[in-house]
Structure 1
Amino acid sequence: MNTEIHISSFVVQAKPDQLRYVEHSLEQLPGVDVFQLDPSGKIVITLETHSSWEITKCSADIFEISGVLSCNMVYHHAETEQELDSFIV
Structure 2
Amino acid sequence: MDETLHIASLVVLARPELFEAVKANLRLLENLELHQESAAGKLVVVLETRHEEQILQRIEQINNLPGVLNAALIYHEVLDSAGDLQ
- TM-score in same-fold range (> 0.5): yes
Match for residue 28 of structure 1? 28
RMSD value over aligned CA atoms? 1.0
Alignment of 1:41-56 (within 5 A): 41-56=41-56
The runs of at least 4 aligned residues of structure 1 exceeding 4 Å deviation read none
Q: Is the 8 A contact 1:31 1:47 kept in 2?
A: yes
The amino acid that maps onto 1:65 is L
Alpha-carbon distance between aligned partners in 2 of 1:9 and 1:27, rounded to the nearest angstrom: 15
Q: Is the 8 A contact 1:9 1:76 kept in 2?
A: yes
Alignment of 1:1-80 (within 5 A): 1-80=1-80
What's the TM-score, normalizing by structure 2? 0.92
Alpha-carbon distance between aligned partners in 1 of 2:81 and 2:38, rounded to the nearest angstrom: 33
SS for the counterpart of 1:82 is coil
Give the unaligned 5+ runs of structure 2.
Answer: none
Give the unaligned 5+ runs of structure 1.
Answer: 85-89
Q: Percent identity?
A: 30
Match for residue 87 of structure 1? none
SS for the counterpart of 2:82 is helix
Alpha-carbon distance between aligned partners in 1 of 2:40 and 2:8, rounded to the nearest angstrom: 23
What's the TM-score, normalizing by structure 1? 0.89
Aligned length: 84
Displacement of 1:36 in angstroms is: 1.3
